[in-house]
Amino acid sequence: MANPLFLLLRGIQTIGLRPTWNGVVHAVRTRWVEAKFADPKRPLRGLPLLLAFLRRIPVPPGAFPPPGPVIATPGPLLSVREEENALHCHFARASVTVQAFASDIIQVSWQPEAGMLREATASLKQAAELRTPLLCCRVSPDGRIAIANASGDTLAEEAAPVSWAAGGEIKGATEERPSYALLRWRVPPNAHFYGLGERAAPLDLRGRVYINWNTDPRTYGPGDDPLYLCVPFLIVLHPDGRHAWGLLLESSARSRFDLGQADPESVGIDLYLPHDPQGQGWGKVSYLLFYAPTVAQLLERFTEVTGRHPLFPRWALGYHQCRWSYYPEERVRRLARDFRETYRVPCDSIHLDIHYMDGYRVFTWDRRRFPDPKRLIADLHGQGFKVVTIVDPGVKADRKYRVFKDGLARGMFCRYPDGRVFIGPVWPGNCAFPDFTDPRVREWWGDLHRDLVEAGVDGIWDDMNEPALFGEDGATIPGPVRHNLDGAGGDHRVAHNLYGLNMARATAEGLARLAPDRRPFVITRSGWTGVQRYAAHWTADNRSDWASLRQTLPMVLNLGLSGIAFTGSDIGGFEGFATGELFTRWLQMSVFFPFCRAHTYLFSPDQEPWSWGEPYLSINREFIRLRYRLLPYLYTALWQCTQTGAPIVRPLLWAFQDDPTTHTLDDEFLCGDALLVAPVLEEGATRRRVYLPAGLWYDFWTDERHEGPAWLEVEAPLERIPVFVRAGAVVPMGPDMDYVSQRPTDPLTLHLYPPAEGQEVVSFLYEDDGETLAYRRGEYRLNRFVLREDGGQVDLTWTVEGAFDPGPRRVEALVHWGGGCEPARLESVVPGRRTIGRG
């Protein structure tokens, strides 16, 4: 933990004296209520409370003490009951149900027996087996789980049976009275690990410990853990790329994944089991096992279970501009003019950070700064901008404020076990916190967006929803505070990780109700498994330095491998002072990310594409323009993600899993099916090494052809980053535009990259109106292109499906022959088959 004096001074500098004081009070109060309600049925009072409180003083929020001694293992296997697709095994001290959800997805649910005392009489010596057409799941007589393929080869197995351990201790203070469940899986020493949500770590997560407890780190750099959005889903890739398996923990309580740190041949999972006498099913451990030959197939199955992104409005793929904060109204208008007139840089959306609100009261406007939001937004719409406003979960505890009054009257806020409303400090001062895990509260919250929607706001940015409170690092709602948990009931130790997910859900569902035919656009800072169903995400408060730029890519890659694909980072970095070079390099990478937004800190200078003058302005403008020309391609990648869960930004192993070099490669990436992007991540660099996996590749800028696998040394002056196109691809591109709905995609240019000899490659272009839900009623158009190499000629077959009519437009094709030949232009191409010869 950072030095408390430093934290105090930093707090005073960032948020002021009074909020900092509120934070100190919150830290003390957290310990007090955690001591008082350690057993909510028997709250402590008097001297015992004081002593328990004093013991808790050194315990930081979100602490995760190592588990105490093991108190139970399943013991010997006593009986097995088989059902169709399920197996129930009774052990002396626990029972397990193994159930096949599908031939490649198996759920394992352990439940300790009450008292854990049953002793073995006649135990079974043979493993029990559950077979699916693809897998065999074995439960050994001592309780170890293993999965094997249909021919009996073991794919994954436990090194030890599940066990339950006593609660851990931190500096003499027992963390409540919970226990832990411990899982130990055996892995090859060089297996690779991916997923786990948002991690400031390399792509391959091996060799470290990761905690699942959503946390606002204030600001972070490489190695800091945990961050805002955890997902307890781990992908294990066999070292030779032969197959992959995944484990999704079905618990929202804190957990710790040791990925080969303590033992390179094991994955250790410690799951916290909070003792909640008002909750049910204590001690249950449940997880899903996924198996697939490839990571891509695994993710398809994972997102089938946990959900996929909806098709966001097309403008969400435009360039976004933000800072903490643009105000007053005149500043916002000037920003809009700067984009459209002064600097002519394309942009789709302006984000309003917390200063638009009246004293940070959510769902209000500061009328001195923004006297007429409706008119301002209408004018911005007239210039082609969308407006996104930030919304925080904390509702100012102010009896004159309608949201607070209403929420209080209707019982919408989280409460202590004794029924008092929990109050804690954040931007507006002391706040109450809606219990988003309650469906009633979600509906209420969703409806609160009405005024914003009626003012014309186009998207909502849910922030601080870990939830983060003021005070020490990791400050949040205290553990004993109660939550509805969709009727199941529980306390914050179980609800914490679900808070951001449910806020995003409330927001997205509210926007969908308020504007039924418009696609909601929500970005959320926090989340959990499945948050992709409701929102996009950004990697929040990083730093304006090269290490943070370098860190961003693996973060985005692992988020994508956790189901959360619509992501990006604050371009230029959040805290600190970006240089022109850093901003440009960051932007050049981010134009290939789904969420492309520049944002910066309260005390940083403006971070706009023109802030550093030339040559940066021209380069930044060119790259943002390139993004706009690539919109048909990027929108297709987004559509594909909604269909299969395939992230838009993918590690190279996604498509080249049998090539071990790709397993740890995290300074280049695939954007969609066709592009390989190698951003420049080092200060002063004007060239970089790029790995091209097997196959034929075209240099995007020069059409030069390269045969992989190969390491190349590629020129990367400030105005360029290495980009390559996979042979056989058809890359659809549109005209230049200032914002996505400025003009139709006319002309549509199909960039054809001939495949290697004898090969045939399929590409897609997905189109619809970009804004409404008409696509769900068949109003879309899916263009399918097959490019075939045929004795030195290329053969293009273009077929279309769906009822959407893109209107009259010109479609041209540009054939990139490479090898020093000029690209050949075909003036007007129509669906059907066409053979194109050289020359």
Q: Provide the angle, in degrees to the nearest 10, between the axes of the packed helices 402-409 and 439-448.
A: 160
Upper half-sphere CA count for residue 306 (Cβ side, 13 Å): 29
Residue 14 or 99: the one with the smaller Cβ distance to ligand GLC is 14
Among 276, 329, 348, 353, binds ligand GLC (CB under 6 A): 353
Check binding of 466 to ligand GLC (CB under 6 A).
no
Rounded alpha-carbon distances, angstroms, from residue 220 to 50, 463, 529, 551, 692? 35, 16, 22, 10, 32
CA 77, chain centre distance (Å): 40
Write down the number of H helices and E strands in the chain: 15, 47
What is the C-alpha separation between 95 and 109, in angstroms, rounded? 8
Q: Provide the angle, in degrees to the nearest 10, between the axes of the packed helices 580-590 and 616-629.
A: 10
What is the C-alpha separation between 18 and 11, in angstroms, rounded? 10
Query: Are residues 495 and 483 in contact, defined by beta-carbon separation less than 8 angstroms?
Result: yes
Residue 540 or 670: the one with the smaller Cβ distance to ligand GLC is 540
Residue 181 or 540: the one with the smaller Cβ distance to ligand GLC is 540
Query: Are residues 550 and 522 in contact, defined by beta-carbon separation less than 8 angstroms?
Result: no
Q: How far is the CB of 119 from ligand GLC (least distance, A)?
A: 54
DSSP 543: B
For 709, the token pair is 């696998």
Q: Binding-site residue total for ligand GLC (CB under 6 A)?
A: 9
Q: How far is the CB of 324 from ligand GLC (least distance, A)?
A: 4
Instruction: Provide the pairing of β-strand 230-237 with 192-197.
Output: antiparallel
What is the C-alpha separation between 252 and 161, in angstroms, rounded? 22
Residue 326 neighbours by CB under 8 Å, 6+ apart: 332, 335, 350, 351, 352, 353, 355
Q: How far is the CB of 468 from ligand GLC (least distance, A)?
A: 8
Residue closest to ligand GLC (Cβ): 324
Q: Taking CB under 6 A as the criterion, which residues in 383-402 touch ligand GLC? A: 390
What is the C-alpha separation between 785 and 794, in angstroms, rounded? 12
Check binding of 536 to ligand GLC (CB under 6 A).
no
Q: How far is the CB of 319 from ligand GLC (least distance, A)?
A: 17
Among 324, 592, 633, 656, binds ligand GLC (CB under 6 A): 324
Q: How far is the CB of 347 from ligand GLC (least distance, A)?
A: 18
- Torsion, CA 321, CA 326, CA 332, CA 338, rounded to 10: -50
Q: How far is the CB of 394 from ligand GLC (least distance, A)?
A: 11
Q: How far is the CB of 355 from ligand GLC (least distance, A)?
A: 9
Among 504, 540, 723, 796, binds ligand GLC (CB under 6 A): 540
Among 483, 525, 688, 705, binds ligand GLC (CB under 6 A): 525
For 301, the token pair is 């199955």
Residue 104 or 462: the one with the smaller Cβ distance to ligand GLC is 462
Q: DSSP for 76-94, please give it.
A: SEEEEEEETTEEEEEESSE
List phi, psi (to 5°) of 408: -70, -45
Binding string to ligand GLC for residues 599 to 618, with x set by CB under 6 A, is what? x-------------------
Residues designated as active site: 463, 466, 541
Query: Are residues 832 and 798 in contact, defined by beta-carbon separation less than 8 angstroms?
Result: yes
Q: What SS3 state is found at 185?
A: strand
Check binding of 541 to ligand GLC (CB under 6 A).
yes
Stated length of the chain: 839
Residue 181 or 598: the one with the smaller Cβ distance to ligand GLC is 598
Among 175, 176, 225, 463, binds ligand GLC (CB under 6 A): 463
Binding string to ligand GLC for residues 747 to 776, with x set by CB under 6 A, is what? ------------------------------
For 368, the token pair is 């001195």
Q: How far is the CB of 599 from ligand GLC (least distance, A)?
A: 6
User: Would residue 833 be called left, alpha or beta, if left means φ above 0 and alpha means ψ between -120 and 50 degrees?
Assistant: beta
For 632, the token pair is 């048909």
Among 146, 354, 716, 829, binds ligand GLC (CB under 6 A): 354
DSSP 620: H
Q: What SS3 state is found at 140?
A: coil
Instruction: Provide the pairing of β-strand 135-139 with 128-131.
Output: antiparallel
Instruction: Provide the pairing of β-strand 570-571 with 173-174.
Output: unpaired
Residue 348 or 392: the one with the smaller Cβ distance to ligand GLC is 392
Q: How far is the CB of 353 from ligand GLC (least distance, A)?
A: 5
Q: How far is the CB of 208 from ligand GLC (least distance, A)?
A: 24
What is the C-alpha separation between 594 and 635, in angstroms, rounded? 9
Q: How far is the CB of 216 from ligand GLC (least distance, A)?
A: 7
Residue 87 or 540: the one with the smaller Cβ distance to ligand GLC is 540
Q: Taking CB under 6 A as the criterion, which residues in 551-610 touch ligand GLC? A: 599
Q: Catalogue the E-assigned strands of 316-384.
A: 319-321, 349-352
Residue 270 or 608: the one with the smaller Cβ distance to ligand GLC is 608
Matching residue, tokens 């659809």: 732
Residue 205 or 354: the one with the smaller Cβ distance to ligand GLC is 354
Residue 26 or 525: the one with the smaller Cβ distance to ligand GLC is 525
Residue 324 or 436: the one with the smaller Cβ distance to ligand GLC is 324
What is the C-alpha separation between 181 and 163, in angstroms, rounded? 6
Q: What SS3 state is found at 169?
A: strand
Q: Tell me which residues touch ligand GLC (CB under 6 A).
A: 324, 353-354, 390, 463, 525, 540-541, 599
